[in-house]
Chains A and B, each alone.
Chain A
Amino acid sequence: MDSVLAVRSPQVISEILDGEAVIIDLETGTYYSLDPIASSIWDAIAAGGSTATGIVEGIAAAYGKGVPEVEAALTPFFSRLAAERLVVTVSGSRAAPGPFPKASANLTEPTLSRFDDIQDLLLLDPIHEVEEAGWPARKPDPGDEPA
């Protein structure tokens, strides 16, 4: 649990509003909304330098809980972030995450909700920036350069 976690940038982007994060995977069209405790963890990862161990210790301190209990609550969330390819592990300098806000009275398992409705939109009306590669199929024009 000691590797530094990092957002899989630039494919994954996020914004936190009113304490809740929205994450978008620009590669797949999938997007996610996070509850407040999950958002505070995401915020720590996005700030850089956080390890899972550091986050667990920070959350344990915020909620006055033991590390083993917090680790049990957070491990499925870390696994989900990795499985959804939202975070990667990197070799970088570690930094203790800042103090975590106490998002609720009791520690609950962080939740991440996944939405796939945009993928239908992408299939229906795709949009691409193109150069010579990807240029629309065309008939010869009198203005064409001679071969």
Chain B
Amino acid sequence: MTDGGATPPASLPETTFDRMTDAFRRAARAAGGEEERAFVIGGQQLVLRTAGPAMLPVLAPALAHLVAAPGEPAGLEVFAWDSASTGVELPAPASTEDGDRHVWQPGVGILTVLDDSRRRAVVWVASAADVPSNEVAAPLRSFLHLAFYELGAQFVHAAAVGRADGGLLVVGRSGAGKSTTALACLGSPLGVAGDDYVLATDGPEPRVHSLYSSAKLEPHQLRRFPHLSGAVVNPDAAGEKPMILLCPRWAGSVSAGFPLRGAVTPRVVGRGPTRARRVGGAALLAALAPSTIFQLPGTGRHTLARIGSLLRHLPCWELELGENVSDIPLALERVLEEARP
């Protein structure tokens, strides 16, 4: 496709963000118009605008549980395009200091440019069709982290499960059992607010907000959930973790968020009953903070302090995952009962 509707501007915009939005508009014209979707994330209306439909399957599926009615004012706004479907290439960055932030993920080929308010971003990829499923499972991470950081919420590498009146943050290193713990709750009285990333707010009433209704599992973990194997959306993708979209099939088990009553770190034991024991918060800090900090841009001392403060407000448990995954929801309900204020 050529850049049919793309008339170069008389003079280039001054900031990188404006250059990117200018390119987005040309891409939308070339693709026959904009698609618009609205979501409510962490209490903010996020409006997603894509140049034609190509980027929707990349950015929208994992947010399906947070779809909102259009027409509300956008607290957060994202413009997205790809070059392959629109013919509009990535512009050169402005050479002046402009207060924008430019985040590049070379491994997956995604560029995110935020304006100086951090509430608007333009996302570009060379080809929407080539975006790997781990990005589809958790889109817009850089933007959501930086935007919500300004709003006082922390993007964290954790799962979360619970009821409307209270739930638990589930933290752990890769392979520790976060996804196993979260997916074991599908169909139980506990809702799943996320299996890998959630937003958390600190303070006297800490709270978790759902970001994504997706789940990723190692192939050997998938064998513990045979009823999920038919829902894997990337069965033929070599080198990628099996990815599951929970909506619409398990929409009733997905939670938009809840007050946080505690935090657990799972440990796969594989035999005996699943049980919890109280532990200090340092082990959970070590399991949560480094993987959060190194997966996100612009993190460091302040992010570590925020995560420390969040965990300081929460009682913590180690959850020994025993022989049967079906025991997990009951063990978590016992923890919630113990954590009841």
Contact = CB atoms under 8 A, between A and B. Distances in A.
Q: Do A and B come from one complex?
A: yes
A16 B280 CA distance: 11
Interface stretch (B115-123, B190-198, B294-302): B294-302
Interface stretch (B44-52, B97-105, B219-227): B97-105
A84 interface: no
Interface string B188-232: 000000000000000000000000000000000000000000000
B280 A20 contact: yes
Interface in B212-261: none
B282 A22 contact: yes
Given A10-B300, A118-B290, A127 B280 contact: no
B91 A125 contact: no
Contacts of B307: 15
Contact of A130 (B12, B83, B102, B294): B102
A118 B312 CA distance: 23
A129 B95 CA distance: 15
A55 B39 CA distance: 54
A140 B285 CA distance: 46
Nearest to B107: A125
Interface in A1-58: 10, 13-22, 24, 26, 29, 31, 33
A124 B289 contact: no
B295 A138 contact: no
A145 B11 CA distance: 8
A127 B105 contact: yes
Interface stretch (B18-26, B67-75, B177-185, B269-277): B18-26
Contacts of B91: 138, 141, 143-144
B281 interface: yes
Interface in B86-134: 88-93, 95, 101-109, 111, 134
Contact of B290 (A16, A20, A115): A115
A18 B108 contact: no
Given A17-B311, A17-B312, A136-B109, A130 B289 contact: no
A140 B87 CA distance: 11
A31 B286 contact: yes
Given A13-B304, A17-B312, A132-B93, A22 B285 contact: yes
Given A17-B281, A121-B174, A125-B295, A135 B105 contact: no
B92 A145 contact: yes
Contacts of B173: 115, 117
A26 B300 contact: yes
B164 interface: no
Contact of A33 (B12, B109, B282): B282
Contacts of A29: 290, 294
A142 B8 contact: yes
B286 A22 contact: yes
Interface string A96-119: 000000000000000000010110
Contacts of A22: 282, 285-286, 289-290, 304
A33 B286 contact: yes
A142 B90 CA distance: 10
Contacts of B105: 125-128
A145 B92 CA distance: 9
Contact of A124 (B88, B107, B296): B107
11 contacts: A17-B282, A20-B282, A31-B290, A118-B291, A121-B294, A124-B107, A125-B105, A127-B103, A127-B296, A131-B102, A132-B92
